[in-house]
Structure 1
Amino acid sequence: MSSQVRGGTRWKRFALVMVPSVVATAAVGVGLAQGALAASFSVSGQSFKVSTDKLVGEDFVQYGSVAVGTDIEGEKQQAHPVAVSGFSKATITNMCQSVVTPDLPFGLGSVSLQLKAGTDPKKPVEATNLYLDVAQLDADAYFENIDIGVAAGSVGKPGIQAGTEKAVKAGGFSQRAKTATLSNVEQTAWATTAGTFKLSNLSLRLHKGVKECF
């Protein structure tokens, strides 16, 4: 009986991974753009990986925060310290996003969901009011008009992500820049939100085993 219960839990979280994410992102994006939704939610118990050839963003801000959710079994609350990177507008070239669901029943083992978009440099992914809750980032970075050591409460446009103000210390360390260009990006994140998110040349695939973006 205990084995059957564990299997059911795993199938439940596998089903969550398989939710049509593009439709969900579009619906939430419209709500955020219209101010109908606060951009706060309980994060899942799984981080995900994102790689891009280049991200070019306007009105870059970065500050410390906390992403709160539950573990992968949905039983214990967890808090994850994150560096939030925000942009009022951004274009992303050759984006890859991957998440691995481990230990599925019926001999499936691990299954990876991999999403790719913006593979044509002439048609990159486009986003507005983009926020990335990042746990790890490796990239080549170029900033214009950067200020380092700004109080988070005074960071300016696009500001602290709506609905997450309680997780951010107003006098905490932050930085901002007029523009930011990140190349050869590899990051591990807990959440991404955007007012709008346009995915050109979208490709979503499931792979048996571990198949990550990096």
Structure 2
Amino acid sequence: MSSQIRGGTRWKRFALVMVPSVVATAAVGVGLAQGALAASFAVSGQSFKVSTDKLVGEDFVQYGSVAVGTDIEGKKTQAHPVAVSGFSKATITNMCQSVVTPNLPFGLGSVSLELNAGTDPEKPVRATNLYLDIAQLDADAYFEQIDIGVGAGSLGAPGIQPGTEEAVKKGGFAQRAKKATLTNVEQTAWATTAGTFRLSNLSLKLHKGVKECF
């Protein structure tokens, strides 16, 4: 969460990467109505990295899907297979999110956006109806009451992400658990959506060069 934009229009590409994170920042501390965030959208064509010390989620589901990217004109480009992880509720401790935009003009080269939140274990990031479109995940995982090999169309709450049903094979392999605890998480993702997403102790910075969470 790469399409190629040439010449001076690279600044538009930079804006497309940065603006969504700034908009998310403006929503910090405000409880978004459940379902107010669009559940289905075309991904930016650029993946991002997320790390966290600990994620504890209730009603864990995981299934295969497809994330479709777009170029600057909004045309569909490459489709990316993803493993979607969903949680009805989740708390996230010491979260870092980073995305690097390369080859900017005027001698800037690469610029990295770094977002940190939930650094205080007593005030973690909190989310509801959280869905992560993951390309790669490394973590230590502990599941409670897990079912492996469930048909994707038979998952309980929170179920398949609303608006993405066409990208999911209903009889495809899926798994679910009453509770999932992930520690030492490092993931590369194409998209994150949530009904509500509350970030405590938020810090957002731009860095010249490449600075990623891992």
TM-score when scaled to structure 1?
Answer: 0.91
Q: Which has the higher helix share?
A: 1
For the residue of structure 2 that corresponds to 1:94, the secondary structure is strand
Contact 1:7 1:104 (8 Å CA) reproduced? no
Name the structure 2 match of 1:48: 48
Unaligned runs of 5+ in 2: none
Paired with 1:63 and 1:89, the residues of 2 have a C-alpha distance of 17
Paired with 1:200 and 1:40, the residues of 2 have a C-alpha distance of 26
Contact 1:47 1:189 (8 Å CA) reproduced? yes
Name the structure 1 match of 2:24: 22
Contact 1:29 1:194 (8 Å CA) reproduced? no
Paired with 1:123 and 1:201, the residues of 2 have a C-alpha distance of 8
Residue correspondence of structure 1 range 94-109 to structure 2 within 5 A? 94-109=94-109
For the residue of structure 2 that corresponds to 1:183, the secondary structure is strand
How far apart are 1:107 and its partner, in Å?
0.5
For the residue of structure 2 that corresponds to 1:40, the secondary structure is coil
In the alignment, residue 141 of structure 2 is paired with which amino acid? A
Matched, 1:117 2:117: yes
Unaligned runs of 5+ in 1: none
In the alignment, residue 155 of structure 1 is paired with which amino acid? L
Name the structure 2 match of 1:170: 170
Q: 1:11 to 1:29 in 2, by over 3 A?
A: farther
For the residue of structure 1 that corresponds to 2:106, the secondary structure is coil
Q: Please give the root-mean-square deviation of Cα atoms over the aligned residues, in Å.
A: 2.1
Name the structure 2 match of 1:144: 144
Contact 1:71 1:78 (8 Å CA) reproduced? no
Q: 1:97 to 1:37 in 2, by over 3 A?
A: closer
For the residue of structure 2 that corresponds to 1:156, the secondary structure is coil
How far apart are 1:125 and its partner, in Å?
0.2
For the residue of structure 2 that corresponds to 1:163, the secondary structure is coil
For the residue of structure 2 that corresponds to 1:177, the secondary structure is strand
Aligned residues: 208
TM-score when scaled to structure 2?
Answer: 0.91
Q: 1:48 to 1:37 in 2, by over 3 A?
A: closer
